[in-house]
Structure 1
Amino acid sequence: MSEARERRAPVSSIVLGATQEDTEDSADGGVLRPAEELTALRAGSVLPGTRLEIVRWLGQGVAGVVFEVRHLDIERRFAAKLLHAGHNEGRARRFRAEARMLSQLGSPWIVEVFDFREYADGRSMFTMELLEGPSLSASCEGSGVEVGRWFAIARQVCKGLADAHAHALIHRDIKPENLVLTRDAQGRERVKIVDFGLATLIGSEGTRRCGTPAYMAPELYLGLELDTRVDLYCFGATLYHLACGQLPFMGESSAVVCRAHVERSPEPPSSHRPLPPELDAIVLRCLAKVPQERYASAQELEAALIEAQLELGLSTAVDDLPVPELDDERRRARLERGLKALRDQQWHARRRRRRRVRGVSVGLAAALALVGGLGLRARAQTQAQLDAIVDAELRELEDRAHAAGDRARWVYPSPDDPEGDTAYRMVERIEGLDSARARVSGARLREQFSTTLVGLGDTYWDADGGRGFAREFYTQALLFNPDHARAGSRARLRPAVLAQVREQASTGEFSREELLDVEVLDSLADPDPAARQRGLDGVLASDRLSSREAAKLERLREDIEAEAEAEPEPRPAMAAAVIPGPVVDSATDETGETGGTETGELDAPSEDETGTSEANDADSVREDLLRSARRAYASGRRKAAERLYTQVLRDHPRDLDALVGLHRINFDSGDYQDALDYAERAVKIRPRQGRLRIFAGDACMKVRDYGCARTHYEQAAALNHARARQRLELLGTKG
């Protein structure tokens, strides 16, 4: 159907070339009459043996002709594809196979076949859904499509290919002309795969060269055994064309182009227009000459597309589509969480736009109210009456602030009520009142809430596995009291990051994913030990935490249980409504930091596992530890590697290999702030080593400190590091 759409011609009617041998109707009217008895098939004609009236000719391809038809009884419109007269048996067999295969797929991403009819002379016809939109050919013109639309189209085609491959079918001719754009009920762009005329079964040999040279996989040209990765290559060539408006290979003849697919490596799409490196990597992997070097399946390709999209922070029109089925359930869960965060981000953006519209209306209402209000104030008998109005509002806001604090809603609202009160927003509203009492109340509440939060941070700082959660409490404390020394030294947030959190706290524009991530803090703040344990059990059972975070929380839960058995009384600092004084341990220095390792980052001191004596040579021990750490890291035993690298740092605080190793372990585990700390310690030791600047910049990107990232990437560029310019270009897209 799609090739017909691309080859329209001003033909007013077509006569089906029936031969003299087509002499008689069958009893059910399914045989074509001889040509001299046939009326020319034009608009208004009825296809023989059917209730289908021709509306218009859509076009024709190698195999057959395609009409738009209307069912006379139910008024529904279809596309009807008829095999050409004078066909050979092989073509008829493929035509029947195409109809049969399409009818079995039942995929929303592939054109649907409804009926099949075979006439006595061997010619066939099948009806399929009528797709009103154009193919992707027009979208490939110019300089390519917008990046977000590129990702949306790519994911939909992956789903169609996955459905076809699940039925052991290989399309063999994926190209822009065979990808048709439609609209769903909400008006959103959808893509469907059409024309399975060259499709074959998995495991077939490509004994017959077929396909379109501009998009043809090497194994199709060479006649090798085929698997589903043939389609991934053809699709990669299509994605290349769609991204930059250029084909991966050009030539004077089809043979030249086909040989290029076999022998030459394409330039990346970004050589034709500025594009993210993630897009280049996906397309070039699809275009690998050896099938084993491509993505293993359409599902793996779609997963890579989602990961690149999340890395770019890019929202698309299809973020509500389900993620593909993957063997790695944890990876699948990460993709689901990431897409959910993007949807939440879009939801907040729409809400901001609605607020702006409402703001105009509110502004007009306020102007009208002001006119009436002037008269009201003029009638006020005394200033005391006006003060009473402000005091009443102040008391209400104070009550709401305390109520939010009692529910542990100091900064973050509930994910089930993102518009709900938080203590921070109530304090800001109090400070906005034109009253000296309000200013005093705001300062008092800030002190109360920051003290409570610092107390919670102190409670968990030295607990096994508790340090990361303590930092979250210290961060919230800094929003109320930016000058708190201990909270500042332990939270270790850069000013730009703290400013971003403060902006989110003021507007309440946290994503649902962010609110779910901090729910564990609600449980940790609960003064009731039993309720606290139930809450922590629920968080652990939800599987929302990374394996590293879950391990830390499990250790912390056990530590809390052990302490509760030793001392059944609840800790004062745990009560949200209680305002404890600052906790200062006798072993801390003036900044409140505990003694121990140089970084103060480890949950607990590591034990010496080497069993070496003091007589051993220090350098030899160091090298042994580093070798063991590298082997542990390479085999996936990150915890063991972390312990070994930490042992090295204990005796060699400036050891670059250990710092880089710990940076990588924390980066891989998602502990990006710790990863940044290690990278920056390494940078201080070797400021002119470009790779260390890249490590630090990448960690800055993960904690959203883009100014920090830019500084490190620019330093790496000045040191002529190969990846620095690429990183800076990506940073430019982050704004």
Structure 2
Amino acid sequence: MSLEPGARLGSCEIHARIGAGGMGEIYKATDTRLNRQVAIKVLPAEMCCDETAKARFLQEARAASALDHPNICTIYEIGDTPDRQLYLAMAYYDGETLKEKLARGPLGVEEAIDIASQVAQGLTKAHAAGIVHRDIKPANLMIAADGLVKILDFGIAKLAGQNDLTQTGTALGTPTYMSPEQVQGRDVDHHADLWALGVVLYEMLSGQQPFSGDQSASIIYSILEAKPAALASTTTSPLGTSVTRVVERALKKAPNDRYASAKLLLDALKEVAQASDAASAPSAAAGPSIAVLPFSDMSAQKDQDYFCEGIAEEILNALAKVDGLHVVARASAFHFKGKTGDIRQIGDALGVTSVLEGSVRTAGNRLRVTAQLINVADGYHLWSDRYDRQLDDVFAIQDEISESIVETLREKLVGTPVIARTERRPDNLDAYHLYLKGRQQWFAREEGGLDEARRYFEQAIELAPDYAEAYAGLAQTYAVFGLYDILPSKVALGKAKPAVERALSLNSSLAQAYAALGLVRFWLEWDWPGAQYAFQEARELDPNDPIIPTHQGFLLANLGRVEEAMAALAEATRLDPLSSYVRAITGYGLIVAGRYPEAIEICQQAVVRDENSSALFVLSLVHSIADRHADAIATGERLVTKSGRLPINLGLLGSIYGRAGRTGDAAAVVRELDDRAAREYVPALAKAWAGEFVDAETAIAHLEQAYDERNAFLFSLGSNIDFNPIFTHPRALAILKKMKLDKLPRPRM
């Protein structure tokens, strides 16, 4: 029996029926306890006597509620109606299903890839938990108003390792989207979901289903025997050929011929998406441009990865100083590390006219470096060479490669280009290798590399006490320790400041030293004018480093100078278009500007490309500010897990719980932080964030303690009042005044 408006299930009040499926009716409702909209799915009364249907419904609920991912529908509650009908309450999303969207016609290639990529991300999470959806189709994919895709209806999900309610020989699912093994009633695994996603992607691109017929029998025959019409003929996009290859592999008849996992399918979609970036990138025809890819390690022990990256980065830095030559920054170029794709496709994705790739082989003190410069337009080599030298000749080899590239491109360059000789030349070659290892770990800090970076920089300094670059790297490392309160900020400052001062005394024109000084003044000293001066000096000394304008934009955003911040961040994006970190900080700037939908979009892009902590932090923050609580919680919990439950991230999650009305969960975070504070350093700011919706007075006291501790993230006090209500407390405003952040302009939409 259908539920009427005004009926209640638990704490939920029914408003209207909004849909129905084979396993239940869907209602829009309000959870009156937490004052949030929900969707209620009720198992039909006539099916309640069917124990198999009941078990399958409960299996759906358990499967879906065990998953925690932004691309999977959030389940809140499972219960019984007064007449013993089963129901579950789930998040309600404003938007439309993909089925409704496709009723208006096929999608553009870029939009189709974005939707498929989000589905693949959700499936990656589900499959890792041993859960197969078995019914991926447009009707089960909800597209929220902000473009976030949610996988719905795990009604026929099969949990690996449980009693199989879907007996072999019984085909469950929607026939048009079923895999060959599924229509035959055979046992299935995650490959069935990959097939279904391939069918959905084909339909998004062409507006047609690849396997069709008038009756189920003809559809099944088509799935088992027919080959779909060529997809490339259905789109005029230059990306059509690339995406066609992805669809064709997903639709291989034999499961083992498809992608081995949803993650590999996602990686393939990301490579196609990179080509779409080139479509909006500045035209490379305006002048010569180059991407320097990480060199391959050909050594027998495969232990020279850091050296390969270092050589490529040194060449990249040298070329970046040549007038008239556009050089893609490290993060974007190194995004293709280990990829075996066509160089022409990589070049197109990066918007460059040429690509440099190479290899390194070491044996004892012998070094062999090969390098080749490839023309993106036709894939032909413009120049190549091999260098067999002693290991201590590495600097000369780097210079010679750079000079050969410039000579090759000379006709297209303006004036008489000159290569600046490599500056990082310590007398001790072992110190140089340690410095390169530190740089590699610095860029891999998501995997715990920060402490390794510190160790390598310190060892390099022990061997070469006058190594300015190593001091600058060490100062930047300690600045990040202070930012995330891995070390108390005052301790981090005591380490970072002497290091940066030593770097500048050794080389007063070193851009990285001024970049480190900017971080120390911004994050640890709260010297806003001094930080701005340092970042500006660094940009003038090295206008091609994208991280410098990124951090300058971060500073300016927190000072309320939004237009200047967005200009700096736009320059960082131009220099490094594929950097997830740049996108994450740009998202933060958009938050300060009050442009929340744009912030969500750019942070979601960052997470798709590289699920790093910075991107997850900003995305969870903006979701919460925009009252997208389910998404904020899911993203915040992923952040906490990924960062190893770092206290500052736990504090953010506690505040997100509180804003969503889940004060019990927020209180649990407070208890965890209190327990940990008895045996380790926990910043007071983390406690203030976590506790502001639990005990406001205690939270304010923690905020004052955070000022005394100089917790770095207090710099966000003035710019994030919309997120943290306690920031408007008179005692918090007094802190703002002491920090000179009390009179910030605060633009809003």
- TM-score, normalising length from structure 2? 0.41
Structure whose CA Rg is larger: 1
Select the structure that is richer in strand: 2
